[in-house]
Structure 1
């Protein structure tokens, strides 16, 4: 316990240090500091991945025959961006600050049959082009019809549209070849320096025409009149995607001064969902769970107080022979369970996962994981997981020492390799499927090697360090002695059957998180931003309380039924909430997503299987630790001869 407290104290000290360091810099992290632009300063638009909610397979921007710059330069990316499939590159879209331009030609190209087919396929799958300016993602403002003056923002612009025109009954594909950009900026009146606070676009499909011969980017377009300061859009002449047909890509750029300050420029992106429904649902869920938790805690405290008082008043042998309930199994309740090594491994892994989530959420709610720092959240989770290997080794070794085990190195190796090995194996298979689709979301083998290096180079040694110190300490003493011969377990009622009680125990923890789970799934699979970590932290605390209390209640009923095999049951009771999480993920897949490809469905269920497995380890460990503390507390509070 002392070592655990020291480790947690070190973690909080690190968080505090980073917070103070951020305050010294004005809370601007490296790469996230504001950029000040003077008039006519060059602005370079970068392009990111092509993304689709229908396939969940990202592709590089230049996998389609868009206009290319003279040389394609990849931006430096962190580990989280590589795992997410981001590929950030330069583009031919070049602006000058506060210098509007109209009818700017990017390039002229003629599609091959293969290029036309690629465009049609991406349009059918509703792919979007993602661009970045000054670290701000491109959004498309969309007016909502159900609310007055309400605007929502779509992340990215569609490659094109599919529809009918000119009375034709056949649907055709049209490309968005003209983009009207709007850059909003906040101007400092004293210095005349501007900071970019919004990057919006409106796409058009226009079949451009021009006078005379082609003169490159200086060609005068008949379909775009710069003198009238407008794009001439004829609804009957959009740019159809056809092989060997000429396509001219063009754009407009305008600038607008805004009152939005640089520190608040991400608010628009983080409020893409209906806040009222979200906040009301979260508060309603929290109130219900808190009320149920309070009732459970009150009942448990009153019942236990009465039982302990009754048992402590039993003085005669005749009274002792009439003992019933949980005190009757005091000689067997701390008997080591079957597969005790595996239990130690899962408890240690759960402690590691718990520490990783706690520290990551603390970093997030303190503002140290800004959404502008792409991939920062995933990178932080991986690194914190690696360093939390010390807690995993220490916890598994302490529990293994309690079970009087001697092969601590064997348990340590399983703790360091079992959970990461299973996750890595599933992830590797899924990555091969992505690789087979030639998607940019496939993690490069160099990144895979870096993950293996973090695993075996840092995490495994730290697990051994924690395990060595945990096993070296004296074993914890049980409150009561364990009999040499186990007593028989009486027949239990149907509702206390292991399968029934375990499945019942997972309902309440899942109920505490399923509303928040909906928004998390939406942010992941529908490509929306999620940044309400304050509420997520509250839900995490409620999840801890719920898992602990439901595990304690069912453990108490089990002991009252003279069933002393509580070790694994306490772990599975709270951990069974992962079953409901996976079932809810399946329900979400069939009701909210429009995925039709087999590979995309396999990817979805594969990743949700990993998430459910991690949730099982987390909630199971919380339930086990709560029951471990509970049983030691009640059996140390009664007089046992």
Structure 2
């Protein structure tokens, strides 16, 4: 007994530590401010390198041609050079590998030039450096949780803005041969902008960092003094990555400083080496207008300047949604209500019915098992009309269309045990997406919370397993299922299993490239533990409550024993054609905003998309468009006497994912410059997973909308 309490105590303590670690990652305005005194050391962290030409990222500290960490203790910071920083789940999944660097920064202290190290590389290291420069890789460094940025100005030169990261090098054609030459940036100028700290810290002379700019430069290895410092920082010759035979000697230099000068090498020799000297400069500048609370604004100037396009997208979405709303209003307020009211009035008119012609060859509807209200009159009147009809086979004209299939509209669909887990997983994604949008609009998820979007999204997805099991079990029981335990297991493993299997297979290819994009083995085991030890029990608990306690959803009428024959359908009413036609409408609602999302994810590898106000509005209009499109399509389907609407409504809601995946292919060919099979495979695999999540989410919205619509109209017809 005591052992059980000890185990529980250890578990609770571990959970508490996890929550504290998560809480430290949150950005709370006014409380998460780090202020520095003059002369206080400021740690600089190196993270990763990434490129627009490939999806493979690499840890900066693991590149063979950069300065290795010295392992020195950093006084005043409690950090050791080369030590890794603890990362949350989102940071690991996005490829971050943050490490303490040897760069020495002190608040308010300028350093015109400082020698860092000299790194000797062999032929393999040289080729690696050339590949990094050729592929346009950008390095990400971090100071005070701000990524180092390259500074630009707008076209009209009225505003300044930042692009996260700085180039590792550049290439240019040789003036004599025309061949490309590759130059490495081996010197960086770090400019840190500061502002007086708010509150008491500011009164005591403390400062906060409000900007971090990096200006890289390529400086030749020769023409340096005894300390390895270049003689000219302003107009230097570039450091070319080549192994052409060259000799540079300087007998006046001490022996311990020979590492930073060029050595003699021969490109044809197997042991040829190249020594790369690294230096840096540091400048602190005061920024009076920019405060700590809005220090991220410069990273989003482009997104702010595109607000007119965002508003154009919203207007476009509102116009489409307004047209759909008008059509739905006509269907609900005039057509369906008029059908019901007209039939009631006709049925009360001296017991006589208005008679219309019925097409030959159409069968009379069978009677429902539940005979009361207007549906009982419909079945009786249709039978009487069929007996008394003339040679023209006349039946009541009001008893047509969607009213004819009332005895089959709630018949369980084929493969219902598969549809129920899909809807359950879709509800799981709905709750996750809703939580992410709300937290983002409230400012909890912001750029300072690095990796927070993925971390919180994963946590919400796992916790929403209870909702997944609940809805899946109720729908499963409504379809006549009895094995709720097996349904819970399928719900908990079907979609998450597809995600994990796909990511694991992709990981094998990324591991082979030694990329930081690869998920570490420990993280994979952690994800499996979250899946099997937390999500699966939650789905099981939700499934038990939904199946045993909540029970089935009630229907206004019962299904006939013998299914009704469905007449031949026109081409646009067939399942795939109808789904494709319906999917174009939601895609038209979001395609403008989709461009900005794609630009943030695939072109700006920092992933800083935080215009969540626009995204929330467009997402709301998107949901309304899906609901309205589904209602219109299902109503037209029922009017053609096709009662197989269960799967069709799911396809109608999720069909816009097909257009989004096609847009991914278009974006890949027209806007991206990705090269390599591995990068192409990563792009399309991740695009497929994203579209699958989107299709599952929107398909569930379409299914639930159609379910509520069908129950509503047939419940209105069934009156006493």
TM-score by length of 1: 0.91
Instruction: Give the 3 Å change call, closer, same or farther, for CA 51–159 of structure 1 in structure 2.
Output: same
1:242 counterpart = 2:242: yes
469 and 208 in structure 1: CA distance in 2 versus 1, 3 angstrom threshold: same
Pairing partner for 1:431 from 491, 496, 507? 507
Return the alpha-carbon distance in structure 1 between the equivalents of residues 672 and 279 of structure 2: 33
Q: In structure 2, what is the equivalent of residue 8 of structure 1?
A: none
1:177 aligns with 2:189: no
Q: In the alignment, what sits opposite 1:194? A: 207
Indicate how the Cα distance of structure 1 residues 265 and 238 shifts in structure 2: closer, same or farther if over 3 A, else same: same
2:284 matches 1:255: yes
**Cα pair 1:312 1:638 within 8 Å, conserved:** no
Q: Shift of residue 209 of structure 1?
A: 3.6
Aligned to 2:79: none
Q: Could you list the per-position Cα deviations for residues 81-126 of structure 1 after superposition, in whole angstroms to 9, with x for gaps in the alignment? A: 1111100001121111011111211112333211111100011111
Within 2, Cα distance between the matches of 1:616 and 1:246?
Answer: 53
* Helix, strand or coil at the partner of 2:316: helix
Greater Cα shift, 245-254 or 451-460: 245-254
Mapping 1:82-93, distance limit 5 Å: 82-93=92-103
- Post-superposition shift, 1:538? 1.4
Structure 1 contact 187–194 (Cα < 8 Å) conserved: yes
Which region of structure 1 is more displaced relative to structure 2, 269-278 or 181-190? 269-278
For 1:169 and 1:503, locate their aligned partners in 2 and report how far apart those are by CA, in whole Å.
51
| SS of corresponding position for 1:405 | coil
**Equivalent residues in 2 for 1:107-122, closer than 5 Å:** 107-122=117-132
Residue matched to 1:232: 234
* Counterpart in the other structure of 1:520: 597
1:597 aligns with 2:676: yes
Q: Give 1:640 deviation, angstroms.
A: 6.6
- TM-aligned CA distance change 1:32 to 1:248, over 3 Å: farther
Counterpart in 1 of 2:260? none
Quote the residue 1:564 is aligned against.
643
Q: CA deviation at 1:466?
A: 0.7
Per the alignment, residue 255 of structure 2 pairs with none
1:395 corresponds to which residue?
471
For residues 31 and 133 of structure 1, what CA distance do their matches in structure 2 show?
Answer: 19
- Residue aligning to 1:55: 54
Specify whether residues 564 and 220 from structure 1 end up closer, same or farther in structure 2 by C-alpha distance, changes over 3 A only: closer
Q: Distance in 1 between matches of 2:344 and 2:449?
A: 60
Q: 1:167, CA displacement in angstroms? A: 4.6
**In the alignment, which residue of structure 1 is the partner of 2:14?**
none
- Superposed displacement of residue 374, structure 1: 1.0
CA contact (8 A) 1:325 1:559 kept: yes
Contact 1:312 1:639 in 2 (8 A): no
Matched-pair contact (CA < 8 Å) for 1:478–1:632: yes
Pairing 1:131-170 to 2, within 5 Å after superposition: 131-144=141-154, 146-164=155-173, 167-170=176-179
Contact kept, 8 Å, 2:190 with 2:214, in 1: the verdict is yes
1:384-441 Cα distance to aligned partner (Å, 9 max, x none): 1001011111101111121222111121111111000111111111111111111011
Q: Kindly indicate whether the alpha-carbon contact (under 8 Å) linking 1:46 and 1:88 is maintained by their aligned counterparts in 2.
A: yes
* Cα contact 1:555–1:566 (8 A) shared by 2: yes
Aligned residues of 2:45 and 2:99 also touching (Cα < 8 A): yes
**Could you tell me how far apart the structure 1 residues matched to 2:52 and 2:157 are?**
28
User: For 1:333 and 1:362, how far apart are their aligned partners in 2?
Assistant: 37
The answer to whether 1:37 aligns with 2:41 is no
Preserved contact between residue 152 and residue 272 of structure 1 (Cα < 8 Å):
yes
Matched-pair contact (CA < 8 Å) for 2:228–2:277: no
SS of the residue aligned with 2:151?
strand
State the match for 1:271 in structure 2: 301
Structure 1 residue 292, shift from structure 2 partner: 2.2
Show the 5 A alignment for 1:11-22: none
Matched, 1:66 2:66: yes
Between structure 1 and structure 2, the one with the greater Rg is 2
CA distance in 1 between partners of 2:178 and 2:594 (Å): 43
Q: Alpha carbons of 1:211 and 1:443: their partners in 2 closer, same or farther (altered >3 Å)?
A: closer
* Distance in structure 2 (CA, Å) of the matches to 1:569 and 1:614: 18
Is the CA contact (8 Å cut-off) linking 1:32 and 1:372 kept in structure 2? no
Q: Aligned pair in 2 of structure 1 residues 550, 263: CA closer, same or farther (>3 Å)?
A: same
Change in CA separation of 1:166 and 1:187 when aligned onto 2, cut-off 3 Å = farther
In structure 2, the CA distance between the partners of 1:211 and 1:305, relative to structure 1 (3 Å rule), is closer
Q: CA deviation at 1:289?
A: 2.9
Alpha-carbon spacing, 1:312–1:410, altered in 2? closer, same or farther (3 Å): farther
TM-aligned CA distance change 1:220 to 1:552, over 3 Å: closer
* Counterpart in the other structure of 2:362: none
Give, in angstroms, the shift of residue 537 of structure 1: 1.5
Is 1:99 matched with 2:178?
no
Q: Are the structure 2 counterparts of residues 31 and 467 from structure 1 closer, same or farther at C-alpha, using a change threshold of 3 Å?
A: farther
- Pick which of 123-132 and 488-497 moved more: 488-497
RMSD of Structure 2 on Structure 1 (CA): 2.1
Structure 1: how far apart are the matches of 2:527 and 2:60?
Answer: 26
Contact 2:52/2:672, CA 8 A, preserved across alignment: yes
- Distance in 2 of aligned mates of 1:474 and 1:298: 33
Aligned runs of 1:257-406 on 2, under 5 Å?
Answer: 257-258=286-287, 259-273=289-303, 274-301=305-332, 302-315=334-347, 316=351, 320-321=381-382, 322=396, 323-406=399-482
Cα deviation, 1:585-608, whole Å, max 9, x if unaligned, reads: 010000010011011000000000
Is the contact made by 1:208 and 1:222 (CA closer than 8 Å) also made in structure 2?
no
Q: Mean Cα displacement is larger for which, 148-157 or 501-510?
A: 148-157
Which segment drifts farther, 167-176 or 610-619? 167-176
| C-alpha deviation, 1:210, in angstroms | 4.3
Q: CA deviation at 1:279?
A: 2.5
Write out aligned runs for 1:560-639 (5 A): 560-639=639-718
- Which residue number corresponds to residue 262 of structure 2? none
In structure 2, C-alpha distance between the alignment counterparts of 1:629 and 1:387, rounded to whole Å: 26
Q: Is the 8 A contact 2:465 2:539 kept in 1?
A: yes
1:195-227 per-position Cα deviation (integer Å, ceiling 9, x unaligned): 001000111111144456x4xxx445322xxxx
CA contact (8 A) 1:311 1:638 kept: no
**Greater displacement, 244-253 / 73-82:** 244-253
Shift of 1:314: 4.2
